[in-house]
Amino acid sequence: MSLSIEQLAADVRADREVHSARKRPFMRWEWLLLLVVLATFGLNSWASPYFLDPYTLSDLTYNFTEKAIVALPMALLIIAREIDISVAGIMALASVAMGMTAAAGYGLPAIVAMGVLAGLLCGALNGALVTLFKVPAIVATIGTMSLYRGIAYAVLGDKVLKAYPPDFAYFGQGYAFSLVSFELVLFLALALVSGIVLHFTVVGRRIVAIGSNPTAALFSGIRVERYRFWLFTLTGGAAGLASVLLTSRLGSTRPSIAVGWELDIITITILGGVSILGGKGSIVGVVLAALLMGLVTFGLGLLNVPGIVMSIVVGGLLIGVIALPILFRQMRAARRGT
């Protein structure tokens, strides 16, 4: 590996940025998100009389759980300075794999295993492209995104797979207890595990180290490429799992399943405070951002706003929530300067 003075200087600067970020009030971004979540919750209950109802609130969680389950490993991946744009494509391919397994007459465990396994394999291919062939992640996964969904289209064409056994419906439609869905419990459990891994284990600290300075991480003995590979594989596996949930909820597989979800998933991650430059981010932020996305889209849905108009709000939210604090800081700095 070649090291230039310039690269070193840039790395030192990046480290300084990370440290100065640490000095800011504890979890400032997360508090801001929490405020926005509460405000949106309040706004929803004020705008629609149907909102504050146990059944409505239970339904609401379906709006974000599947996407949020992929956003968790996506956060780890982006913290490690990588990204996966192919997650929605993986979901389509995993769904097709499950549909074919079901059509071949296999039982429930085989169907679910196939979905997750397909996801893991797709993720491993992404990881191999990035680590073995040294393709930048964004480019590699733009390619595999077309590849995975393309295979789904090639296999299915305009057909639909829906030979799923009745038990399969539990994953996407079942309730763990009373009104708490299986999806929500699964998401919360995975969020807890991701949070512990990222914030309290050596593995998590190493992921942050790789993201803040890969060169330094490598020189301190972290197997950087191995971490990258497994993070991609993990993200693929999570996409496979999300595909199990979504396919179960819809009860059928079409090649266009989850189209465009990669943007929603990445939006949740960025909105959650994960820095696209790597080395920074928290799972609490991602969970709050997922909740916020769910609240906003569900609230607008209650107000009969069409989905495509919601995308204006979601896109505006992404830019606004990131731009406003920067704008305020610049204005304050400018006032201090004059």
Partner 1 sequence: MRLHKIDRDVGLFVITLLLLGGVALKFPDFITPRSLADLLDDTAILVLLALGQMLVLLTRAVDLSVAANLALTGMLVALLNQAHPGWGVLPVVILSPLIGALLGAFNGVLVWKLKIPSIVVTLGTLSVYRGAVYVASGGAWVNSNQMSESFLGFIRTQMLGLTVLSWLAVVGVILFALALRLSVTGRNFYAAGGNPGAATYAGIDVGWMQFLAFTASGAIAGLAGYLWVSRFAVAYTDVAQGFELQVIAACVIGGVSISGGVGTVAGVVLGALFLGIIKNALPLVGVSPFWQMAISGLVITIAVILNARGDHSSPRRILEEARP
**Spatial contact of 194 and 76, defined as CB atoms under 8 Å apart:** yes
Q: How far is the CB of 182 from partner 1 (least distance, A)?
A: 30
Nearer to partner 1, 30 or 262 (CB): 262
Nearer to partner 1, 6 or 178 (CB): 6
Token pair, residue 295, equals: 């609240």
Q: How far is the CB of 77 from partner 1 (least distance, A)?
A: 9
* Backbone angles phi and psi of 237, in degrees to 5: -60, -40
Nearer to partner 1, 7 or 201 (CB): 7
DSSP 162-227: ----GGGGHHHH-EEETTEEHHHHHHHHHHHHHHHHHHHSHHHHHHHHHHH-HHHHHHTT--HHHH
Q: How far is the CB of 201 from partner 1 (least distance, A)?
A: 24
Instruction: State the Cα–Cα distance between residues 114 and 181, nearest whole angstrom.
Output: 23
Q: How far is the CB of 214 from partner 1 (least distance, A)?
A: 4
**Spatial contact of 99 and 161, defined as CB atoms under 8 Å apart:** yes
Instruction: State the Cα–Cα distance between residues 189 and 224, nearest whole angstrom.
Output: 27
Nearer to partner 1, 114 or 130 (CB): 130
Whole-angstrom CA distances from 232 to 2, 131, 289 are 26, 10, 22
Q: How far is the CB of 267 from partner 1 (least distance, A)?
A: 6
Q: How far is the CB of 34 from partner 1 (least distance, A)?
A: 21
Nearer to partner 1, 81 or 112 (CB): 81
Q: How far is the CB of 281 from partner 1 (least distance, A)?
A: 13
Nearer to partner 1, 173 or 215 (CB): 215
Nearer to partner 1, 57 or 310 (CB): 310
What is the contact surface with partner 1 in residues (CB under 8 A)? 1, 6-7, 10-11, 78, 81-83, 129, 133-140, 142-151, 153-154, 156-158, 213-215, 218, 255, 260, 263, 266-267, 270, 276-278, 306, 308-316, 318-319, 322-323, 326-327, 330
Nearest to 263, CA basis, from 133, 97, 70, 108: 70
Beta bridge partners of 253: 161
**Spatial contact of 213 and 14, defined as CB atoms under 8 Å apart:** yes
Token pair, residue 92, equals: 């389509």
